[in-house]
Structure formats: C-alpha cells, structure tokens
Amino acid sequence: MSLYNITHFIEEALNNIRRNAFVTVITVGTIALSFLILGVFLIIFSNLKDITSSWQEQIQIVAYLKEGLSSADITSLEEKIRAEREVSSAHFISKDKALSEFKKDLANQTGLLDGLGENPLPAYFEVKIKKAYQDSGAVSSLAERFKKIKGIEDVQYGQEWVENLSSFLDLMVIAGLVVGGLVSLAVILIVSNTVKLTVYARAEDIEIMKLIGATDWFVKIPFLIEGVVIGLVGAFLSIAILFGIYQLLMQRLSLNAGILLGKFSIAFLSWPDIAILLFAGMLLGLFGSFVSVGRFLKV
C-alpha cells in the first residue's frame, strides 16, 4: 500500500466525518456516554478490588493445639503446617503470649481476669495463606487437612466470612462481564448505524468506484478508519469527562476524606485501564464499521 493510498484513505475518512458532522457529534456523544458508564464501573470495581485484596491478606487459619505438647512436638507440627503448599507462613503463639494479648484486648477491663487461676487459653499457630489459595475452597480444604494432624485440637478460619468474600468477588466479575458486554454491543450498533448513513449517502460514488475497478477493500478502508476515529474520540471524551467528575468529587470530599474514607482513598483509572478503554473504543468502532460496510457491499 502506497503513501498516496494511505493519505487518500485518511482524507476520505475525515471528509465523511465532516459531511455528516451532526450525526457524528451525536454518535460520539452517545459512545462517550456508554463508555462513561463502563468507566464508572471500572473505577468502582478496581477500588473494591483493592479493598477486598486487603481483606484477603487478613485471611488466616488458627490451629489450636492440644495440651501437654512438648517443644519437639510443636516443632514437628510447625514443619507439617509449613509443608502445605497453600501456607505462606506459620507463627506460633504460646499459652502465655495468648493470655498477654488477650489482656491487651481487654484494655482497662483486665480486672475481669482476677482470680482466673490457671491460664485457660490454648497455644496455637497463626497460619497465613498464599494469595493464589485465598479462595473459599482452598482455605476450607487446608483447614480440613489441619484437623487430621495429630496434636491439633481445633481449627478456625471464619468459614462464613471467607465464603461471603469469595461470592462477592465472583459477583463483581460477572457484573463486569455483563456491563462490558452491553456497552460493547451498544457501541457496535451505534457506530454501525452511523457509518451506514455515510455509506448510503455515498452510494452513487461507491457504485462508480466499483465500476472503474475499485476493490471492496479500497472502498471499505476509509469507512473503517472513520469508525476507528469515532470510537477513539468517544472513548477519549468519556475518560476526560470521567476525570473531571472524579476531580470535582475529590475536591468536595477532601475536607471530610479522613472521616469518610479513613486510610482508604478512591483511585482513578490506572494507565492500563485507560489504554484498554481507548483500544476498546477503536476496536468496537472498527468492528461496527466493518459490519455496516460489509452488509452494504453484499447488497
């Protein structure tokens, strides 16, 4: 393909956009609105993912030990626990340390422990789970294996909380796929109908080009470029609007951020997310144009 042809295709695409300026503006605005909805969801999803990631880091199994175990028994238990592939770390808490931490938790109410006599708290292991195994099934399976180890009295890991967290993450992924699918379908239909208007407006010119030997691809390429430009501009506009709204909200919340958000801050779209949105706009615009022009040339 020569430089002249490339220049010709780009000029034709831009001319098509100028000839149908009003329709193009409406189309870009509609695409921007569609991607704005997707962008809002991505921000919510990415921030919730950060929160749940911090929650997942707190997932641990507590293995309570039987009374009367020797130091050698405890060392052997620790080796068995660490040998499991899901285990990131295992920290031993003695009976005395368990009681000391319990007293710290009671703060000014330590008087409740007066007359307690013998320390009733068991020694235990705090077991951290590797990130790859922090789902409900893996944690539950590991806990069941711990229960079968001789010397372990009981195992706790907050089963209901872990299952609810896993279900919430699965729900967010499904919601993301649904929203992304609906937005993609909407953009394809919007671009397809817009390019269709341009194609029919130039039906006679296209027929003449075909008569003098122009190939289908020679006819298609300017319209495909038009779709890419429309999709890209729509996606870019949505990101610009979204960033403006984000900045405005952050300014409004800045005075109360410490109270409302604590240590957690709302993050905007990452650069990879922005790149994905722009690429998606271009790709969907290209596909919408391809479908529209393809149908016309088959008629």
Q: Give which of 298, 273, 284, 280 is closest to 47, Cα–Cα.
A: 273
| Domain-terminating residue out of 100, 132, 156 | 156
pTM: 0.65
Looking at the fold, whether 272 and 228 belong to one and the same domain comes out as: yes
Looking at the fold, whether 77 and 30 belong to one and the same domain comes out as: no
Looking at the fold, whether 198 and 270 belong to one and the same domain comes out as: yes
Task: Tell whether 161 is covered by a domain.
Answer: no
Q: What is the pLDDT of residue 279?
A: 92
Q: What is the pLDDT of residue 237?
A: 94
Looking at the fold, whether 51 and 67 belong to one and the same domain comes out as: no
Q: What is the pLDDT of residue 260?
A: 47
Q: DSSP string covering 42-107, please? A: HHHHHHHHHHHHHHHTT-EEEEEEPTT--HHHHHHHHHHHHTSTTEEEEEEE-HHHHHHHHHHHHG
Residue 290, domain extent: 3-55+166-296
Number of domains the chain is built from? 2
Looking at the fold, whether 249 and 269 belong to one and the same domain comes out as: yes
| Domain-terminating residue out of 138, 156, 174 | 156
Looking at the fold, whether 189 and 278 belong to one and the same domain comes out as: yes
Report the C-alpha gap between 271 and 273 in whole angstroms: 5
Strands of the sheet containing 60-65, edge to edge, are 87-93, 124-129, 60-65, 152-156
| Domain-terminating residue out of 117, 136, 156 | 156
Report the C-alpha gap between 108 and 207 in whole angstroms: 89
Q: What is the pLDDT of residue 57?
A: 67
Collapsed DSSP state (helix, strand, coil) of residue 115: coil
Looking at the fold, whether 105 and 71 belong to one and the same domain comes out as: yes
Task: Tell whether 40 is covered by a domain.
Answer: yes
Q: What is the pLDDT of residue 98?
A: 79
Centroid of chain to Cα 253: 24
Q: Which uninterrupted H or E stretch holds 125?
A: strand 124-129
Tens digits of pLDDT across the chain (299 residues): 555 567 877 887 777 778 778 888 888 888 888 888 888 888 888 887 777 777 766 778 899 998 888 889 889 999 999 999 989 889 898 888 877 776 676 655 555 555 555 767 888 999 988 888 877 788 888 988 998 899 998 898 876 666 677 677 778 778 878 887 888 788 788 777 777 777 776 677 677 777 777 777 777 888 888 889 988 999 999 999 999 999 888 877 765 544 444 555 778 888 998 999 999 889 888 888 887 777 666 65
Looking at the fold, whether 46 and 100 belong to one and the same domain comes out as: no
